[in-house]
Structure 1
């Protein structure tokens, strides 16, 4: 008969098990390594990474693995793949478009409500206006003026909304804060898509918007951060109230049918 120690040992062996291990794909490992080196500045922006065959030789990985890693970096906006005799994987650093793309995917993927978009705008845009009043350049003021001219013109709803986006993005650009600018690009696009309806933007809303934009622009031009914050806050709050009021009326009309 087995002794007590043998029985206890067999019992421990039967209950002690290893969990399944998640082993990363070779392409992910290579992409992570290249990504870190790009972000660290080891590869200069605009220059090509080593050719495919050289990466295969250096890493001892298959050509398929190398190509998959490069595709991962391309999707992440860290390299641009060019074909032809002078082609290759050229390094590019993340910019505001990368931020905007990521935020836009989140907004669309999570089906973020219009009310949430407007609330976020109320939190972010006054900060953009404050910084714009501090750091705006002559070129920034020209962009704001051009957007103001476009938004005041008698045009279609699409023209108005485009000029509206241009102005709000111009304020963010004038802040000279890359994160805020990228975030505002995505936010403005999402709000544009949600308000592309004549019912949201009627004549009174257009008139109020033109006046508010001119007022905020004056504060930015005068280098008055407090006035810029106060006027932008009032503008985005009033715009949100007008849009949500129309949305509520539309919902009621639909439910009554």
Structure 2
């Protein structure tokens, strides 16, 4: 209440202040649509491989603009939840997140935060023995074949790049044999980051290669025999010895992992 001069009236000894509202963040229409479609995909309403309605139908159903619909689909594509195909049989097709999605996210975190080499190696020492333990418990014949192929590639007289790739393949194969999707994706990113950021030319020589071959074959044999205790023990020793050797020659405290 105000008087004729426009001043605020005093009621019961107090002054009435105008109500103030805080600014509200209104989500973009494309984010709202992307959120709705994402939840439906993750709940399984749209099975993998299902084609979402054509763009013009989404526009009609949602009453949103074509630009909004396209932006929403692009968000889902970046998140790995749909695959956009062009051509007469094109459209947006549902795909479920896989191990590579995890690996990509972890790789971005490692590169973006410039994670220290010591932290990467500590994480590996904590995680890989668990992978070996689960691999010994759940491995299949196909898993053993993948491990044997990687071991043969590691033992071959190839280039340093070939050796490093075979090494990564073996460590990822152990994680795959655990049949734990989170561990598989995580180890894919972790192994690539460690090997990509190590001074391999000055560190890996013939002796290191021979030691790696023996360690990998011993761990593989424990996994083959379903001897979880031996698998854990051997993997723990292997990754610890590697970490100790790397840190002896690694003077950097931060890393920059090159892009794929």
TM range (shorter): over 0.9
Q: How does 1:1-257 map to 2 (within 5 A)?
A: 3-5=9-11, 8-10=14-16, 12-13=17-18, 16-195=19-198, 197-248=200-251
CA–CA distance in structure 1, aligned partners of residues 121 and 94 of structure 2: 36
Deviations 1:19-39 (A, max 9, x none): 111110000000000000001
> Would you say the 8 A contact 1:151–1:163 is kept in 2?
yes
State the match for 2:256 in structure 1: none
Deviations 1:30-82 (A, max 9, x none): 00000000011111111110110101111110000000000000000000000
Which structure 1 residue ranges, 5 or more long, are not aligned?
252-257
Q: Which moved more, 1:199-208 or 1:99-108?
A: 199-208
CA–CA distance in structure 1, aligned partners of residues 13 and 45 of structure 2: 59
Work out the number of aligned pairs and report it: 247
Which structure 2 residue ranges, 5 or more long, are not aligned?
254-260
- Greater helix share, structure number: 1
CA–CA distance in structure 1, aligned partners of residues 185 and 238 of structure 2: 21
Q: Which runs of 4+ in 1 moved over 4 A?
A: none
TM normalised by structure 2 equals: 0.91
CA–CA distance in structure 2, aligned partners of residues 186 and 239 of structure 1: 18
Q: Which moved more, 1:50-59 or 1:203-212?
A: 203-212
> Would you say the 8 A contact 2:218–2:234 is kept in 1?
yes
